[in-house]
Amino acid sequence: MIEVRDLQVAYGGRVVARVPELDLRAGECVAVVGESGSGKSTTLLSLLGLTEGADVSGHVRVCGVDVLTATPRELRAIRGARVALVMQSPQAALSPTTRLGVLMRRALRLHGLPSGERVLAEAAEAVMLDPGILRRYPHEISGGQAQRFAIALAIALGAEAILADEPTSALDVTVQAEVVGVLRRLREERGLALLLVSHDLALVSTIADRVLVMRDGTVVESGPAAEVLSRPAHPYTRELLEALP
């Protein structure tokens, strides 16, 4: 579904992310971990051609589209509809004066998809939201509900993969557990693929199949999550693990 080879992202001649290899298949969860400034968010954004002003080189194939050479139209066809982006605070991206249901319907129409009541209610239920929430405005819902709405939007659009950047970092742990539960269920039931950018190694260890550890723009270690996080080969991975309180 996603295939990256020798990706390099630079701003003004300074390389901020270098990823030799990253693959994401259906139903799989791959995590990119690291500290602030490690290049993990840049890597994620570059997969959808969202690193404006950057020099991007290498090979990035997402759902059969070569992202680095794709036309804006080709990119629009995969963004949202096939690969959805879930950020830390989705509320910031929701129009404050639009009810959630109207917002979802608009997104569906934009992609030429059916947008009846039934479709909306099913998407809400898939993320364990009461469909009644679709009548509310963004400020009337909690952070956890907003995050699940963002995932519901992806489901309604039929996304096959979700790219999530710290999706639960701003949430309380009990709410985080609910959101993570929803993501896990969607993976199992619908074969949804998940690329998770996170600083939380403990969280990553409970859901990721594979993991890439980044530092200062470089992947220092990668492999099966169970392997990397229990027997780290790189001193930096060890340092990260030892730092867990």
Partner 1 sequence: MTLLRAEDVTLGYGRTPVVHGVTLDLAEGGTGLIGESGSGKTTLARAFLGLLTPMSGNIWYGTQNLRKADRKAFRADVQPVFQAESLDPRMRVGRSIAEALPRSGRHRVPELLEQVGLAPDLATRRPHELSGGQRQRVVIARALAVRPRLLILDEPTSALDVTVQARILDLLAGLDTERLLITHNLAVVERLCRTSHVLFAGRVVESGPTADLLGRPAHPYTLALRDAVPKLGGPPPVARGRAEARPAPSGCPFRLRCPLAAPQCERAPEPREVAGRRVACHRAEDVLAGS
* Interacting residue ranges for partner 1, rule: CB under 8 A: 35-36, 142, 144-145, 172-178, 180-181, 184, 199-203, 205-207, 226, 229-230, 239-245
CB of residue 111 vs partner 1: minimum separation in angstroms? 29
The nearer residue to partner 1, 98 or 230, going by C-beta atoms, is 230
CB of residue 34 vs partner 1: minimum separation in angstroms? 9
The nearer residue to partner 1, 52 or 173, going by C-beta atoms, is 173
Rounded Cα distance between 113 and 67, Å, is 23
The nearer residue to partner 1, 92 or 226, going by C-beta atoms, is 226
Burial degree of 34 (CB within 10 A; 0-12, 13-18, 19+): buried
CB of residue 21 vs partner 1: minimum separation in angstroms? 25
DSSP run (H or E) holding 41: helix 40-46
The nearer residue to partner 1, 35 or 125, going by C-beta atoms, is 35
The nearer residue to partner 1, 6 or 172, going by C-beta atoms, is 172
CB of residue 115 vs partner 1: minimum separation in angstroms? 26
Rounded Cα distance between 24 and 2, Å, is 5
Do 9 and 46 meet the contact criterion of CB atoms below 8 Å apart? yes
CB of residue 144 vs partner 1: minimum separation in angstroms? 5
The nearer residue to partner 1, 2 or 33, going by C-beta atoms, is 33
| Number of alpha helices (DSSP H) and beta strands (DSSP E) in the chain | 9, 10
CB of residue 58 vs partner 1: minimum separation in angstroms? 27
3-state secondary structure at position 236: helix
The nearer residue to partner 1, 37 or 116, going by C-beta atoms, is 37
Angstrom CA distances, 145 to 95, 98, 157, 173, stand at: 15, 16, 18, 14
Angstrom CA distances, 142 to 7, 44, 127, stand at: 37, 25, 14
Encoding tokens for residue 26? Answer: 């259906």
Encoding tokens for residue 64? Answer: 């059969």
CB of residue 179 vs partner 1: minimum separation in angstroms? 9
Enumerate the H helices of 94-245 as residue ranges: 100-110, 117-126, 143-156, 173-190, 201-207, 225-230, 235-243
